[in-house]
Amino acid sequence: MASTPQRGLSHSSTSELRADGSGTVPPPDDAFAARLRGFGPLGVLSIVGILAGNLVVAPLSAVLVLWWARRSHTPWREIGFVRPASWAIDLAVGICFGAALKLLMKAVVMPLLGADPVNAAYHHLVGNTAALPGMLYAVVIGAGFGEETVFRGYLFERLGKLFGGGTGAKVSTVLITTALFGLAHYPEQGIAGVQQATVVGLLFGAIFAVTGRIWMLVFVHAVFDVVAVAIIYWDLESAVAHLVFE
C-alpha cells in the first residue's frame, strides 16, 4: 500500500515540472483566472485597463501586467521574464547595445528622416540638474522596465494567443506592437518621437520575437534613454546630430 502513493507523488512531481518549467507548483486554476486569460468581456477589459494605466501614472501599466500575470496564472516566461544565463552578460550587452543604438539613431537615422537636431520636448533638461532624478526614474523604470513589459512582454503574449506562434503570426505581432509603440510617443514627442520609436520598436520587437526574453531589452531600452538624457543635459544634441551629416 505504501508503493501506490509513492508512484502518485512521482507522477505529480513530473506534472508540476512540466507546468512551469521550474518544478514549482502553480496555483490552482479558477474561473476568474481563465476569464482574465481569455478574450471575453473581462479579458478585453483587462487589456484596455492595462494599456490605459500609464495615462494615470507610469509605470502603472507594467504593474498591472505583473498583477494580471500573477492573478491569471500566466507563467512569467510567457511575458518574457526568464532568468538570464548570466545577468552580467545581459547587462553588459544592454549597456553597449543601448548606447551604440542611441548614437546611431541620433547621428544617422534621425537626420536621414529629416528630424530636427534638437528634441524640443526635452530641451528644458539642458543643464537642469534638478530635473535629472525625476527624468532618470522615468526613463529607467517607466520606459526601460515599464514599456518593455507592456509592449514586448504583455502584448506579445496576448497577440500570440490570438494569432498563434507561426512565422506570419510573429511578423504580424511585431508590426502591430511596433505601430502601437510608435503612436504612444506622439502626444509628448510628436512625429520625430513616432519615427524614432517605430524604428527602435521594430528592432526590439524582432529581437523579442526570436528570443522570448525581456531582461536584455529592458537594459538596452533604459541605457538608450539614459544616453539620450545625457546628450540633452550636456547640450550635445546638435553636435551629435551633425557627426555624420553636416
How does pLDDT run across 136-194, given as a tens digit for each residue? 999 999 999 999 999 999 999 999 999 998 999 999 999 999 999 999 999 999 999 99
Q: What is the share, in percent, of the chain residues with pLDDT greater than 90? A: 87
pLDDT exceeds cutoff 70 at 20: no
pLDDT exceeds cutoff 80 at 8: no
Closest to 47 (Cα-Cα) out of 57, 39, 58: 39
pLDDT exceeds cutoff 60 at 3: no
The reported pLDDT for the residue numbered 29 is 62
Which amino acid does the sequence have at 178?
Answer: T
Closest to 154 (Cα-Cα) out of 98, 72, 216: 72
The reported pLDDT for the residue numbered 143 is 97
Mean per-residue pLDDT over the chain, rounded: 90
The reported pLDDT for the residue numbered 246 is 78
The reported pLDDT for the residue numbered 175 is 98
CA distance 185 to 173: 19
The reported pLDDT for the residue numbered 103 is 98
How does pLDDT run across 76-102, given as a tens digit for each residue? 999 999 999 999 999 999 999 999 999
Alpha helices in the chain (DSSP H): 3-20, 31-37, 41-52, 60-71, 87-104, 110-112, 132-137, 155-163, 167-184, 186-211, 215-233, 237-241
